[in-house]
Amino acid sequence: MSLSQKVFITCAITGAAHTPTMSPHLPITPAEIAKESIAAAEAGAAIIHLHARDPRDGRPTPDPEVFGAFLPQIKRATNAVINVTTGGGPGMSLADRLAAPLRFKPELSSLNMGTMSPIGRYLMAQRRSDWKYAWEPEMIGNARSRVYNNCDEVIETILRELGQGCGTRFECECYDLGHLYNVAQFLDRGLLQPPLFVQTVFGFAGGMGPDPENLAHIRRIADKLFGDAYHWSILATGRHQLGLCTVGAVMGANVRVGLEDSLYLGKGTLARSNAEQVARIRQILELLSIKVATPDEARQMLKLKGADQVAF
C-alpha cells in the first residue's frame, strides 16, 4: 500500500487551554507528560504534539528546562515524531514561544497561521466556582481582551529562525479559511517548503465552527491552493473531536486527538488518558479499512529530518 493511502495520528498531550480543575486526568508534571506521550505512541500515535506545564500548579510554561525534563524520556522510549509547540500559551512573548524549540531543534513544530482572538472563551470562567488554582479563572477570564499574535513578522521569524535555522518543519495550524491563504503566501515566498502539513482546526473559540460543511469547503480551497503538495489533517475540539476526525479521515485526511483538544472520550465521559483517545480513533480508522501510518512512514510523508537530527 502506498503512503498516500495511509493516515497518521497526531496526539496533542496537554496543550495550554485546559486547566487542572477541568479534568483530573490532564497531565501536568514532566513525568506525567512523558508517561502519557509514551502510552499514546504505543496506542498508535505517529506524532506527539507537546506543550509544557509548571509542575507546581499546572499553568502553561515556555521554560526549556521543563521541556528538557520530558523530551529525552519520550525519545528514548518511542520512535514517535516529537512536535514542540511554537504556539506556547496566553501572554507568552515570541521569545518565550521560541525558547524551547530553538534549544531542542525538533523534527516538527506547530505554527499558528494567523492572529486570532478567543471570542467568548472568557464565559467559561463564570460557569464554575470550584477552581483549584487562582490562575485558572484569571487566565480564562482575561481571554476577553486577549489576542494571539501571529502577524506576518511573527510567522516569518519562526520560519526563518526555526525552519531555515534548525531544519524543523511545521504543522501549519489553520483556524480559519484565511489562514490557508497565509500558508499559500509563505509557500510562494519560499519560507515554507512542500510537502505542507496543513492542520485545519474546527471548534476553537474565534475560529471556524465544527460543521461538516466547513470541513468540505476547507478541503476544496486547500486543494485549489496546494494541489498535491500538502498533507491535510483534522483537529476538532470538545465533543466534535471524534466525529469530525472520522468525516475527515473518510475524505482522506490525517487526524489529531488528545487532551489538548478534548477532555472527553464520549458524551459525559472524561477520557482517562490520551492513549484512550488514540486507541478509539485508531479503532474507527481500522473499522473503515483505513491503514494507520507508523512514525517512520509519517517522517517519510512529511520529509522530516529524522530523530537523530534533534538536540535532545
- Mean pLDDT by runs of 10 across the 312 residues of the chain is 82 97 98 98 98 97 98 98 95 96 98 90 83 94 90 97 98 97 98 98 94 95 98 96 96 97 95 98 97 98 98 98
Q: Which of 272, 294, 271 is nearest to 282 (CA)?
A: 294
∠ at Cα 154 (153, 158), nearest 5°?
115
Q: According to the model, what pLDDT value does residue 121 have?
A: 82
Cell of 210: 465544527
Q: Exposed, middle or buried, 248 (CB in 10 Å: 0-12/13-18/19+)?
A: buried
The pLDDT, as a whole number, for residue 120 is 79
Residue 99: CA count within 13 A, CB half-sphere = 17
Domain ranges of the chain: 3-309
Confidence (pLDDT) at 68: 98
Cα–Cα distance, 176 to 217 (Å, whole number): 11
CATH class assigned to 3-309: alpha beta
SS3 294: coil
